[in-house]
Amino acid sequence: MNLTRCPVCHSHITLEAIVQDEAGRELMALLANLDGDLSRALVTYLGLFRPEKRDLSNDRALRIAKEVMALTNDSARLSHALAQTVEMLRAKDGLPLKNHNYLIKVMSSLAPGLAITQESPARLMSKTEQALIKVEKIKERYR
């Protein structure tokens, strides 16, 4: 069963191919049981571990995903930390990650029980975006 074409390489993606591998099935199940923001952030974070000259294997992706999920039960905090980590590391050298040290450092800088409201999206906003939002809120107070 063809699902669609890959938006990156335009090859066909079949559901049968995805679930042939046990690690692939487990990874899909893990991602399916997460809320949307966390699963998107985790998939993007997994991309940081992809070796430069090959694809990331399903076994390794599953192991990394399980390690990340074991870091905390606070899904909002984890989602925010993953998004922040991805944004900051993509702006740097872009070399594949070897461990979760940077993510752990980002998580430790976030307050426990981080509440992400609808006004504050799960992705990390740039300082310019944050400043513009603050200016708009100040304007609204004085209207």
Q: How far apart are CA 80 and CA 78, in angstroms?
A: 5
Cβ within 8 Å of residue 93, ≥6 positions away? none
Give the pLDDT confidence score for residue 118 in this predicted structure: 34
| Contact between 80 and 98 (Cβ < 8 Å) | no
Residue 54 phi/psi, 5-degree rounding, is: -145, 175
Model confidence pLDDT, tens digit, residues 63-81 = 999 999 999 888 889 999 9
Q: How far is CA 143 from CA 130, 135, 136, 138, in A?
A: 20, 13, 11, 9
CB 124 within 8 A of CB 83: yes
Dig out the tokens for 28 from the structure: 């899909």
Output the tens digit of pLDDT for each of the chain's 143 residues: 455 666 667 777 777 777 778 888 899 899 999 988 899 999 999 999 988 888 888 899 999 999 999 998 888 899 999 999 998 888 887 778 888 998 999 988 886 655 443 334 434 556 666 676 777 777 777 76
Is the whole model's pTM more than 0.85, yes or no? no
Sign of the alpha-carbon dihedral angle for 130, 46, 113, 119: positive
pLDDT at 88: 87
Listed by start position, the domains of the chain span 2-141
